[in-house]
Structure 1
């Protein structure tokens, strides 16, 4: 920690000193006499003027000029002024920002079909893959293979698990464009760029004041967003301040029928209901089935289809989200040689989601005649169908009259600063120093949540579901909490609902006083030194080179506080701290070789360019890696280009996922009981599953993880499984077309191939039970697992822990620890075209489209047999593999008015989640081959209407706009399952590729001064 503290002081002090020293001189120059010629729009804004509002290929590097006479910076190349050779670069510019009215950067990027979450909602995520965009669905979560940067420099990590980036810390008003490079790029950028790079490029300068205010509304949902940018330019540079504020309301499950049905059999699904009810449901020893209430005279079978209570109505579909941020950028030229740019960014984000009432499943409770003395609950009620019962297993939900059950909240604070100084050594050679420093605090908290151990203590006098007075409440320690004897003053009544419930107020208040906190602190510093220039001339042009070195350090501290299962968290909490750090030293080089130029007049070889790049990275914790890239462009004639490339890339495992070796490689939950998360287990793969007493089986599968068949889940870090870096191998070929005889038309097509080896993943239960390579990760205990088995499985002896109480009977152990489990082979086609007609008396028309179509999506686990998951979703819980996505635009502009219609299409696919109604078919070794539920294609239409004021009055340049997303208010296609909250998912729709909000109408005003 001492080393990290010194690092932070030195890095932040150096950046601050450089910024202050330089800005003082720059602002002094701002007072100098100005040029007498009227100012003109910045070159970067002119470059965007004719760009359509769909994602379009960048055919010429000049299309992305930064303006102000600076060298052109293009994503994917270390050499300024040179576009990435052999690659397809897609740009989303100012016009798209205006014509999609995005609330944040994630919503803007989701207009690109190559992004895995295109079509989803960007609100409320706080963990897992955070807000980081992901290209071509190439894994996700801790193995995210897409690098997200701003102006070519890295961002601070965030979230409460995997330290991934949130580009939304940058205000929309500061963004000039977003460039998406869907090719391996570790030879230039290092780790994470296996699938490609998403680069958010900010405005270089801005002169004047622009403000945007917009309000949006849908059924039971609203959103307010505002942003501004103010800037001042002078002869040698400029300064601007940008900021944004957004307030998005929560959306509850009960506000959308598709998310709160509970029983989905009418629409071809299953029952997503529970035996947790108010009053309680009851199982009496020796009596088959479940009494659905204390007054029930008969039982029903203990199967999911008979569960009577729909508790999804209490859940939150999207949490309320607040965000405010600011961004300051100053740039100045000092003479003819030195240019310095500095930025400072601050971001604050919060989410709030109300909790529903808490409950417990299968808790043992004792009544008169049981012989349990002080454990006898004074409110005990035997069911009408078993009036002589003296002991029960109850499942219940406990609502209160005030309906206040606490909330789950997240918070994130980010500070981010950069300083870049470029010095011209000669006319051709430049040296550049870059420093990026970032700090992020991300917290996920439960405030006044349901206290499970408190309820158990008031129910049977112990903190154990089984009611054991000798079992420990903290695994590996002899700690026993008791609340004896039970009386009417300290007991819990679960046999009566609201209005007649006899539980004392003091007990009720204690039930909703559980608090937990998961806070992550991430700090990084990236220092780069680049040297680039011209080597020599060839007949085809000048050979250029860029060489450089980089030093990067990162620290992460995770602090977790929660219940220790002995009662209220105010008196019984556990507290853990995990510390991780990493240092990286890198060197890299890129060579640009113009083989043939137009001036050489060679038939069918208008231009040929070649690029060779490579990078060596030395990690303090996972070793060394070298990654080259070879690329070429061939233009047979002007306006038509063929291109191709081959690259090797890598992703270093996130430092937090390695786990803390001093604590049994804990990094998240450790082990936790599985109760209510259904897992359909193939009998052919696990014959012993059919021997579990009371298990419900069909002809091919048995269901475990129910309230009756509980188990234990383990999730430890990659150090426990000896994780190593993840590797990527990729190549692509493509063509760009921009015919000179058809001005305004550009098109590009790319065939891509990606191989991802050893992806870090926590395998899903569905993948484990259906994949031969992962089959050993599930252990079945037909006669229940022993205490020694449980403690060994949870790694208790080495410092790991079990979260919550151990189920009274553990019938299975499932290992979802992070590991190098995933191998992928992905192929497909990216295509884009756009055409903007010349201006006519009827106005100007635009038509365009962009799509991604996968032709292959294969995977295996642990080197097992390869199988296809093409056009499915759910088999992998952190990324989909839906085959086809498309976004098309039809636009018209005339006399200040513009109208744009967008068509967003997601093709139909198969639901391969374990809860699919149609069984997933498997081969002889257990790998999936087909089956699963059909999910319909999704077609959503958006419209944007905008009027720009002209004339010479004060409203010149102002814009009024109306934006309507999902204009026909279409529900998402039905999906029998959920996406575990990763992207705001809930049962009934797929949060990866669908948006639950419905028709969202936005009214906005953009003012320019």
Structure 2
């Protein structure tokens, strides 16, 4: 892999490398010299036709920037199931080291550069062959590069610099460009199967192509099937009580049979037969429910792509591509349950609400009513599932007209359509359980409270009888008295969130030379672009009155946007090698700029200035400055006709425990029964419930997001040391007004966000709750409102986040042929952050360097590295990779060691130390030699995490994927363990 971390050295050398990659040949000395070029790969591509990421000018590498290119050799030696796994080998990608399976909750499948925010603050542009990809997912219409078959990829280029002056919105942190093969002749197929403890996957991809004198056609496709991984199959994800390993007790009071709180009795009865209680604190929670859920969802994906290119004359060329992708994930749900629900017995005076199965706890036999917390643990263990589906259709057409030998006019069109759905199938129906427990759909058992806020809708199931009541006092082991009909009703909730994204991008570019300077031709690219988006979100779910078959709500959100753009780039060669100027072997300048006009958020202008200086041959100094822009995702603005609700936001019950600093919220100590230590009180427990809202950015008057960046670096390719290349880049990136939904930890610990939490020591009034939920303007509440609401926390999307990030990207590679011993390669690539500061709302800056969890959508771990040691001889090769993530601090809200804050409420220390993570991968490969029919075929064994090392313990749940679990950091760690794959690649 690191054999192809190529610095953007001299323009001529980079173009040669790019041309070699396009041709399918070894890229100079960077690829494994013993790998014979496939017989079908040869083609001729002129330097002037090469377009490299970061520059609109043909034949010119991006001036002032470091370009990392991951090519065919890396693809073979990574044996990726999908392109996300391939990109995750680049340390500058935020998710490097994580598992590439399932949808990332914060960026869909889209890679992020330098951890520069995430979620709705996506600052990395992901493109294919220089054109945008269709948006997808059920949140922010981000891209899924995995729609591209791995077999169609020629190389992946990562440009970690601001690039809005060339590409427009989103390219604040940089660009990831997936470049597909231009043509292909022959047939190649790759099949592999992988196995780990309680986990497996299979993968098949192919490409077939035919070339002719004026062009060619190829068809590529891939199929992959990755199994689920259950929490119970990994100890670190299923302990429940993590105190023995330095964590917290994540167990629940949701048990079967129920735990009980009786009026007038302090504490909780841990079962109906209990004669004594325990204090009602999280540390005493007895039931480990993590064993029922999945750590990873199963995932299936199939895609196909056809690409045709033809020269209709020596001046006119047309290339067309069409791609289809289908993917599904299936994530088995764990059991649902009730928390603090009222149940009434004989003598309570509640008439038809008296549950015929009522049982007073043994320690309070006279209790005529009680509050129960219960887990609906069924004998068959079938609790429904959460599934996602995605269908994508993507096509591009590029027509190039060579006006003369110097000027080219290019028209490009990219069209994409995506349908993404996230569905709950046969999920737990809390309203159904409540109706069978106390005759209402209310936790409190109120027969007068409405179930749909803002409407007078009351669901009742009266009187309760043996036929329609729920027995929570006995387990479902043959002694439970609940009827079969009621048991079936418990898992009858279905929900659907379907998004339709359509876009069209049209570009017209003119590329050529204005005139000649002493150092060479002054080149220019000018162009215009028109881009439009349409997004429709359709959401169906429960209305809290019973099963969704009889009580559902349905919402539709529609968004549109169009963008008109003009851009230009100028390449100025100032000094060339043949001018013979001392200490200035070459000197180049680049100036580019772009104007974008958005139909919904206004206009923006973004320039970039860059320079290369080569004092002597093989040593290049480079630098650049740029401004960039990210348009807020249309879906996160919210629908004003619906109270600014949006698909991934909601108003409902808070489901997270929050450690609230007493110094910031003195009233928190006055909440009845709240558990406090010397500095904090914990809310969000079963006894201290509250409400959370996450409305769209229109509610908070959201504005566009801006970026300011510069970088400086050096590239080395010394003539006295053939085979050695190195590149080091110091980057500075400022992100201003990032759209974010602030985490509870950020809210309670940051002075700029402190007003977003309201404490109600005597419970919040109905008027407060209605105003908080924005019901008067069309918003609705999801789920039942707790009988006592003690706090209101506002996590609505807003321009809350400002980041200043600095660090070093570095890579070096040395390859040497040692005669009979074969060829050797050693190299490494790393990202090291030197600064990671942020503030909220323009408040005081504070550092989150080398932490994870304070921001729930992206980590800020200081150091990542991937190193390679390889050997090859006579078709046999062995490559050992070392993956390192440095030690860091856990700053999630559930950390054991409290986060230390200053007088302004900003964090300055504390948190749990998370150990460094070191894993090793090994790739063994043999390529058949000689003249036999199998020439060029490869057999290989790929072993990831060969020492089967568990990820470092992390006291929290990043929920970075559909699934997720407590005990490890899904942003930077892989939970699968040792994964061994065997494969065969054939070429004809």
2:114 aligned residue: 136
**Quick one: which of 335, 339, 347 aligns to 1:357?**
335
Counterpart contact for 1:582–1:620, Cα < 8 Å: yes
Q: C-alpha offsets along residues 311-331 of structure 1, whole Å, 9 cap, x if unaligned? A: 000111100000000011111
| Distance in 2 separating the partners of 1:423 and 1:687 | 71
2:873 aligned residue: 894
Q: After TM superposition, give the deviation of residue 48 of structure 1 in Å.
A: 3.6
1:274 paired to 2:252? yes
1:188 paired to 2:166? yes
1:75 aligned residue: 53
Counterpart contact for 1:326–1:345, Cα < 8 Å: yes
1:501 paired to 2:515? no
1:9 aligned residue: none
1:865 aligned residue: 844
**Quick one: which of 673, 684, 689 aligns to 2:668?**
689
Counterpart contact for 1:135–1:196, Cα < 8 Å: yes
1:789 aligned residue: 768
Question: For the structure 1 residues 949 and 41, does the alpha-carbon distance in structure 2 shift closer, same or farther, using more than 3 Å as the test?
Answer: farther
1:90 paired to 2:98? no
Counterpart contact for 1:525–1:553, Cα < 8 Å: yes
| Distance in 2 separating the partners of 1:544 and 1:449 | 61
Question: For the structure 1 residues 826 and 622, does the alpha-carbon distance in structure 2 shift closer, same or farther, using more than 3 Å as the test?
Answer: same
Residue 581 of structure 1 aligns to a residue in which SS?
strand
Counterpart contact for 1:126–1:159, Cα < 8 Å: no
1:402 aligned residue: 380
Counterpart contact for 2:171–2:630, Cα < 8 Å: yes
2:972 aligned residue: 993
**Quick one: which of 857, 860, 873 aligns to 1:878?**
857
1:480 paired to 2:458? yes
Q: After TM superposition, give the deviation of residue 355 of structure 1 in Å.
A: 1.1
1:298 aligned residue: 276
Question: For the structure 1 residues 266 and 956, does the alpha-carbon distance in structure 2 shift closer, same or farther, using more than 3 Å as the test?
Answer: same
Question: For the structure 1 residues 453 and 152, does the alpha-carbon distance in structure 2 shift closer, same or farther, using more than 3 Å as the test?
Answer: same
| Distance in 1 separating the partners of 2:148 and 2:832 | 31
Q: After TM superposition, give the deviation of residue 944 of structure 1 in Å.
A: 0.1
| Distance in 1 separating the partners of 2:72 and 2:753 | 47
Counterpart contact for 2:109–2:144, Cα < 8 Å: yes
| Distance in 2 separating the partners of 1:42 and 1:317 | 38
| Distance in 2 separating the partners of 1:446 and 1:623 | 38
Residue 774 of structure 1 aligns to a residue in which SS?
helix
2:12 aligned residue: none
Q: After TM superposition, give the deviation of residue 985 of structure 1 in Å.
A: 3.0
1:956 paired to 2:935? yes
Residue 425 of structure 2 aligns to a residue in which SS?
strand
2:579 aligned residue: 600
Residue 921 of structure 1 aligns to a residue in which SS?
strand
Residue 488 of structure 1 aligns to a residue in which SS?
coil
Counterpart contact for 2:187–2:208, Cα < 8 Å: yes
1:931 aligned residue: 910
Counterpart contact for 2:48–2:59, Cα < 8 Å: no
2:175 aligned residue: 197
Counterpart contact for 2:209–2:219, Cα < 8 Å: yes
1:145 paired to 2:123? yes
1:459 aligned residue: 437
Counterpart contact for 2:851–2:861, Cα < 8 Å: yes
Q: TM-score, normalised by structure 2?
A: 0.96
Residue 775 of structure 1 aligns to a residue in which SS?
helix
Q: After TM superposition, give the deviation of residue 743 of structure 1 in Å.
A: 1.8
1:120 paired to 2:77? no
Counterpart contact for 1:515–1:563, Cα < 8 Å: yes
Q: C-alpha offsets along residues 895-935 of structure 1, whole Å, 9 cap, x if unaligned? A: 11000000000000000001000000000010000000000
1:450 paired to 2:428? yes
2:195 aligned residue: 217
| Distance in 1 separating the partners of 2:22 and 2:446 | 75
Q: After TM superposition, give the deviation of residue 236 of structure 1 in Å.
A: 1.1
| Distance in 2 separating the partners of 1:671 and 1:108 | 35
1:30 aligned residue: none
1:369 aligned residue: 347
2:678 aligned residue: 699
Residue 363 of structure 1 aligns to a residue in which SS?
strand
| Distance in 2 separating the partners of 1:605 and 1:438 | 47
Q: How many residues align?
A: 961
Question: For the structure 1 residues 66 and 161, does the alpha-carbon distance in structure 2 shift closer, same or farther, using more than 3 Å as the test?
Answer: farther
Residue 841 of structure 1 aligns to a residue in which SS?
helix
2:317 aligned residue: 339
Q: After TM superposition, give the deviation of residue 70 of structure 1 in Å.
A: 6.5
1:904 aligned residue: 883
Q: After TM superposition, give the deviation of residue 680 of structure 1 in Å.
A: 0.3
| Distance in 2 separating the partners of 1:126 and 1:900 | 29
**Quick one: which of 404, 412, 415 aligns to 1:426?**
404
5 Å-filtered alignment, 1:541-556, equals 541-556=520-535
Question: For the structure 1 residues 859 and 948, does the alpha-carbon distance in structure 2 shift closer, same or farther, using more than 3 Å as the test?
Answer: same
Counterpart contact for 1:132–1:165, Cα < 8 Å: yes
Alpha-carbon RMSD: 1.4
1:283 aligned residue: 261
Runs of 4+ in 1 over 6 A off after TM superposition: none
| Distance in 2 separating the partners of 1:114 and 1:299 | 52
1:652 aligned residue: 631
| Distance in 1 separating the partners of 2:923 and 2:180 | 24
**Quick one: which of 197, 216, 219 aligns to 1:241?**
219
| Distance in 1 separating the partners of 2:474 and 2:32 | 59
| Distance in 2 separating the partners of 1:918 and 1:43 | 52
Counterpart contact for 2:21–2:72, Cα < 8 Å: no
Can you give the 5+ residue segments of structure 2 that lack an aligned partner in the other structure? 1-18, 34-41
Q: After TM superposition, give the deviation of residue 357 of structure 1 in Å.
A: 1.4
Counterpart contact for 1:606–1:638, Cα < 8 Å: yes
| Distance in 2 separating the partners of 1:981 and 1:721 | 26
Q: After TM superposition, give the deviation of residue 673 of structure 1 in Å.
A: 3.6
Q: C-alpha offsets along residues 408-467 of structure 1, whole Å, 9 cap, x if unaligned? A: 100000000000001011111110000000000000000011111000000000000000
| Distance in 2 separating the partners of 1:587 and 1:1007 | 46
| Distance in 2 separating the partners of 1:390 and 1:742 | 87
1:516 aligned residue: 495
1:437 aligned residue: 415
Q: After TM superposition, give the deviation of residue 128 of structure 1 in Å.
A: 2.9
**Quick one: which of 812, 818, 830 aligns to 1:833?**
812
Residue 946 of structure 2 aligns to a residue in which SS?
coil
Deviates more, 1:723-732 or 1:976-985: 976-985
Question: For the structure 1 residues 488 and 999, does the alpha-carbon distance in structure 2 shift closer, same or farther, using more than 3 Å as the test?
Answer: same
| Distance in 1 separating the partners of 2:890 and 2:648 | 28
Q: After TM superposition, give the deviation of residue 890 of structure 1 in Å.
A: 0.1
1:802 aligned residue: 781
Q: C-alpha offsets along residues 40-99 of structure 1, whole Å, 9 cap, x if unaligned? A: 998521254743589xxxxxxxxx998377611100000011000000000001010000
1:637 aligned residue: 616
| Distance in 1 separating the partners of 2:31 and 2:912 | 38
| Distance in 2 separating the partners of 1:420 and 1:41 | 22
| Distance in 1 separating the partners of 2:82 and 2:702 | 34
Residue 96 of structure 1 aligns to a residue in which SS?
helix
Counterpart contact for 1:849–1:887, Cα < 8 Å: yes
Residue 187 of structure 1 aligns to a residue in which SS?
helix
Deviates more, 1:845-854 or 1:973-982: 973-982
Residue 821 of structure 2 aligns to a residue in which SS?
coil
2:514 aligned residue: 535
Q: C-alpha offsets along residues 236-256 of structure 1, whole Å, 9 cap, x if unaligned? A: 111100000000000010010
Residue 608 of structure 1 aligns to a residue in which SS?
strand
Residue 287 of structure 1 aligns to a residue in which SS?
coil
